[in-house]
């Protein structure tokens, strides 16, 4: 049997379990900013979260709905679209970093941390509402 065209890792799980695992890891990364997991899971999560960030940066309704579907909670999806994605507009790709950390003592699995490359600043609650008003003011002056 050949391996041509087979992309991604199986992790010894069925498809729905794999999908739930990756969604859960992505949600944790968005909410916490940095997580530690095994190296293969971190590498697979990189492929998944990069695509979600690209959709979140576009920010229109269809892409917002795809981001909501790609994460387990709406709170995480709104945080990604409204807070994290605007801070990542300076890059076209490579939004997350995977660093090998240690070997897990129980089974010797290689662990890694995955985090956003850019330093993310928490946005104040009032700033979200101020952005559209600032854009409207710029349009009026032109």
Q: Find the mean pLDDT for residues 88-93.
A: 90
Whole-number Cα distances in Å, 30 to 26, 34, 83, 135:
6, 8, 10, 27
Q: Where are the domains of the chain?
A: 15-141
Non-local (6+) Cβ contacts of 122 within 8 A are 83
CATH of domain 15-141: 3.90.1030.10
Q: What is the pLDDT of residues 1-22, one digit of tens each?
A: 788 999 999 999 999 999 999 9
CB burial readout 21-37, b (16+ within 10 A) else e: bbbebbbbbbeeeebeb
Q: What is the pLDDT of residues 61-82, one digit of tens each?
A: 999 999 999 999 999 999 999 9
Contact in structure between 98 and 42 (CB atoms under 8 Å): yes
Q: What is the pTM of this model?
A: 0.83
């Amino acid at each position: 049997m050949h391996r041509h065209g087979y992309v991604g890792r199986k992790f010894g799980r069925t498809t729905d379990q794999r999908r739930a695992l990756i969604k859960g890891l992505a949600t944790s990364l968005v909410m916490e900013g940095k997580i530690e997991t095994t190296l293969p899971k971190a590498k697979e999560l990189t492929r998944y979260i990069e695509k979600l960030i690209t959709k979140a940066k576009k920010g229109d309704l269809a892409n917002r709905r795809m981001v909501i579907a790609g994460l387990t909670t709406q709170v995480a999806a709104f945080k990604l679209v409204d807070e994290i994605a605007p801070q990542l507009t300076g890059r076209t790709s490579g939004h997350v970093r995977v660093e090998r950390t240690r070997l897990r003592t129980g089974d010797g699995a290689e662990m890694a941390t995955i985090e956003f490359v850019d330093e993310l600043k928490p946005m104040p609650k009032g700033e979200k509402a101020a952005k559209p008003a600032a854009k409207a003011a710029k349009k009026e002056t032109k």
